[in-house]
Amino acid sequence: MSLPNIMFNISNNGLGLLQSDTQKVPGFVLTGATVTGANKVTVGNSYQIFSLEEAVNLGIEETGTNAFAYGQIKSFYAEAKKGAELWFMLVASTVTLEDQADLTKNFAKKLLSDAQGKIRVLGLLKKSGTSETITNGLDNDVHLSVVKAQALAEDFSDRYFPVRILISGNKFDGTVANLKDYSTTDYNKVSILIANVDGSKEASIGLALGRLASIPTQRKISRVKDGAVEPLAAYFTNGEPVFTLDAAWDAIDNKNYIFLRSFASQSGFFFTGDKTLTKSTDDFNSLARGLVMDEAVLIAYATLVQELSDEVPVTASGTIHPTIIKTWQNSIERQIGGLMVEAGKLSGVKAFIDENQNVLVTNNVNVELQLLPVGYADFITVNIGFTTTLE
């Protein structure tokens, strides 16, 4: 027997500290080539970088076989700035957009897995060739990839690795009527960008990912206060300036494509929005709304997984004990409130657990979590006119 003494058991969770913030890390699958030599890039491998210089050190240089990838990564860091985390994979020119998104092939799937759930938004980009088939206004490969991308995103979401996907709308044929109308479909985890800043046949996916990485989860890439993404020129992926179709901008937007536009009295070009390829009645008809939900799900999961398979005390009448209900509700609300509501990503949060659930029979506890999102001033209506008096 030891001598009489005093022993302290120190708790490490009494302060109710918040989880670490869930970062909106981008991933990028794009056309490139293997570079020979030690510590150089190899197609099909995943890489994590924090600057353009790191990409150059891997052999992705301004000239040569990886000039295409260099330009896109340069655009990313021009917007996101040095220090921003980027996961990417180069794939051979024979790999289609559909292949990139295919859940059965080791391209986007491998990149997402290698990043271990860090990637929240994924860009898919293929350098155009000369033999593509144009269907519904774009390279047919784009439309085929949308289906695969939705399936990919749904699969990873089920594993608590949620991701939203932005696809390059290659080779727009310039005829708005030909464009497939994605406002009638149900691909709410996927968007298509059909504009660039260099007049090429591919979209500026790197630029869009850079803007997404530099703004908070709830913010749309079209927010004017964040400034123009390009000061001088913007094009569709048919190589023509966006001004050539300015009378049809609304029609293109109504089909749920993202492109670049300008405003009177404002210099530069801005993204038109962040629409996904789904109906206007879908809660997730914008990338921002989807990214906010993904973040909330991850926070709630990280909070509740600590309670998994734990004992749940019940009252004499067999209902869940009020102490358990209050503890769980407060824990979820505190985490989401601190990480999202106070940060302006949500307007409010409320958790509710029905005490009358028969947990003794079902071994299941249902939790209702209500999220009040922020609104967006996408349209501003001003009633203006002359008056004889000012009230």
Q: pLDDT (tens digit, 0 to 9) for every residue of the chain, 391 residues total? A: 567 666 555 544 554 555 555 578 999 999 999 999 999 999 999 999 999 999 999 999 999 999 999 999 999 999 999 999 999 999 999 999 999 999 999 999 999 999 999 999 999 999 999 999 999 999 999 999 999 999 999 999 999 999 999 999 999 999 999 999 999 999 999 999 999 999 999 999 999 999 999 999 999 999 999 999 999 999 999 999 999 999 999 999 999 999 999 999 899 999 999 999 999 999 999 999 999 999 999 999 999 988 888 888 888 888 889 898 999 999 999 999 999 999 999 999 999 999 888 888 888 889 999 999 999 888 778 887 778 888 7
203/329 same-domain check: no
The whole-angstrom separation of Cα 130 and Cα 383 is 51
276/378 same-domain check: no
The pLDDT value given to residue 316: 86
CB 126 within 8 A of CB 100: yes
Number of domains observed in the structure of the chain: 2
286/314 same-domain check: no
Cα distances (Å, whole numbers) of residue 135 to 78, 144, 191, 280: 33, 10, 18, 24
Single residue among 239, 264, 292 that ends a domain in this structure:
292
The pLDDT value given to residue 16: 52
250/350 same-domain check: no
What number of other Cβ atoms are within 10 A of residue 317's Cβ? 7
The pLDDT value given to residue 132: 96
13 within some domain = no
59 within some domain = yes
CB 224 within 8 A of CB 263: yes
145 within some domain = yes
299 within some domain = no
287/322 same-domain check: no
81 within some domain = yes
What's 314's DSSP letter? B
The whole-angstrom separation of Cα 187 and Cα 150 is 6
297 within some domain = no
261/375 same-domain check: no
122/46 same-domain check: yes
| pTM of the complete model | 0.91
300 within some domain = no
What number of other Cβ atoms are within 10 A of residue 111's Cβ? 23
245/120 same-domain check: yes
367/279 same-domain check: no
**Phi, psi of 313, deg, nearest 5:** -60, 145
**Phi, psi of 331, deg, nearest 5:** -65, -45
The pLDDT value given to residue 252: 99
The pLDDT value given to residue 388: 83
51/96 same-domain check: yes
| Sequence-ordered list of residues with C-beta below 8 angstroms from that of 64, at least 6 positions apart, any chain | none
Nearest to 297 by CA among 281, 309, 284, 285: 284
> How large is the C-alpha radius of gyration of the chain?
24
333/265 same-domain check: no
188/323 same-domain check: no
175 within some domain = yes
What number of other Cβ atoms are within 10 A of residue 130's Cβ? 4
- Write out the residue range of the structural domain in which residue 45 sits: 25-292
The pLDDT value given to residue 18: 58
Sign of CA dihedral 80, 85, 91, 95: negative
The whole-angstrom separation of Cα 33 and Cα 65 is 6
